[in-house]
Amino acid sequence: MESVFSNVVRAPEDPILGVTVAYNNDPSPAKLNLGVGAYRTEEGKPLVLDVVRKAEQQLVNDPSRVKEYIPIAGLADFNKLSAKLILGADSPAIQESRVATIQCLSGTGSLRVGAEFLKKHYHQSVIFIPKPTWGNHPKVFNLAGLSVEYYRYYDPATRGLDFQGLLEDLGAAPSGAIVLLHACAHNPTGVDPTSEQWEQIRQLIRSKSLLPFFDSAYQGFASGSLDTDAHSVRTFVADGGGCLIAQSYAKNMGLYGERVGALSIVCKSSDVASKVESQVKLVVRPMYSSPPIHGASIVATILKSSDMYNDWTIELKGMADRIISMRQQLFEALQAKGTPGDWSHIIKQIGMFTFTGLNKEQVAFMTKEFHIYMTSDGRISMAGLSSKTVPHLVEAIHAAVTRVA
């Protein structure tokens, strides 16, 4: 008998996760995975932060802890501390109780809950996202019922920001449109606006009554400073206008698989914030009822203790510094090799990813000949590199640039 699902066609592999599948199937000892967006040590191993292990131990040893459901909005301590981390302890928005914060399933879940809320309660259903952006962004917003438009962001000629194009496209956006902004460490390009450029972007967004929706996946992980990486968000909140912020603790606490994040919506008054929170809970309830307890408890334990918080900032800076050092090593090795082209963008870009400027054919060549795996747009994860593997990557880039057009 024919299955009722026999007409279902096989879905294509996720382009990012598919890189890891191909890597895992490659028997070569020289293989290198630069596709995955997760931190690796110098030895190429996943890292669990010492402070995370300490917090977990504390939680496990507490006999009063139970596994009951937590509220729809999540752990109150976690929410309060998450808002404080991104907005700053002295934020007027927090002091005036104008922020509605909900614990969500990492960054993706925070974006999706925010998008569903906007579709139901905001007068505009168009969202402008940068071109390029993280591959999941358009899917998340489309499935929530928003219509996705793009604004220019990356300039392949300079391997930097197309600032003029960005201003023109946002300037032409309809009044009230939603704008997705990467708070720092833009994925996939690693190209961020300067402080002065952020200020121009803020003025333009406010003058056109556009609604900023920040994706903050890398706070502290880009520069090594939690405050520096929150600068863009804080300048928008300081002007008293509204915005949404999706936060993730995947990268900066290494809690990838715990799926810990938060959605904060900054409002004009505490009354509005309280109504907004009540409606966001109505989005969450039929979606997954309430969030998981473990990861958020780890975050709250660390953020609540000044000793643990300090330990975390040191470990976080260690991760950021290793990535910055990999950029420097790769750039210097390409220069020493005499690889054609200007590679200074590698040290100008920031965060986990570098947009190399390599084309699809060059990427395919590097995979086939050198067993180096990355996404076809030439994005490499700097966290997947080590001092030992830089020479292999440089050989491959040099061969690709000189032998493949």
Phi, psi (deg, nearest 5) at residue 58: -60, -45
Q: What are phi and psi of 365, to 5 degrees?
A: -65, -45
Reply yes or no on whether 251 is catalytic: yes
Copy the structure tokens of residue 394. Answer: 């440089």
What does each C-alpha distance from 230 to 83, 117, 226 come to in angstroms? 11, 24, 6
Q: What are phi and psi of 270, to 5 degrees?
A: -70, -30
- CA gap 404, 396 in Å, rounded: 11
- Is residue 183 helix, strand or coil? coil
C-alpha–C-alpha distance, residues 284 and 282, integer Å: 5
Nearest C-alpha neighbor of 183 from the set 149, 226, 138: 226
User: To 10 degrees, the CA torsion angle through 34, 36, 39, 41?
Assistant: -50
Do the bridges between strand 126-131 and strand 178-182 make them parallel or antiparallel, or are there none, so unpaired?
parallel
Catalytic residue among 54, 169, 229, 251: 251
Tokens, residue 249? 């603790």
Can you read off the two tokens belonging to residue 330? Answer: 């790769």
CA distance linking residue 138 with residue 319, whole number of Å: 29
Residue 158 phi/psi, 5° resolution? Answer: -100, -10
Catalytic residue among 192, 215, 229, 311: 215
CA angle, residues 73, 75, 81, in degrees to nearest 5: 105
Q: Which residues pair with 247 in a beta bridge?
A: 216, 262
- Contact between 246 and 136 under an 8 Å Cβ cutoff? The reply is no
Cα 109 to Cα 112, 242, 268, distances in angstroms: 5, 20, 24
Residue 361: how many CB atoms within 10 A of its CB?
A: 12
Residue type, 266: V
Q: What is the residue type of 173?
A: A
Instruction: Kindly report the three-state secondary structure assignment for every residue of 211-258.
Output: EEEEEECCCCCCCCCCCHHHHHHHHHHHCCCCEEEEEECCCCCCCHHH
Q: Which of 134, 162, 229, 312 is catalytic?
A: 134
Alpha-carbon distance of 178 to 167, in angstroms, equals: 15
Q: 134 catalytic, yes or no?
A: yes
Q: What residues act catalytically?
A: 134, 215, 251
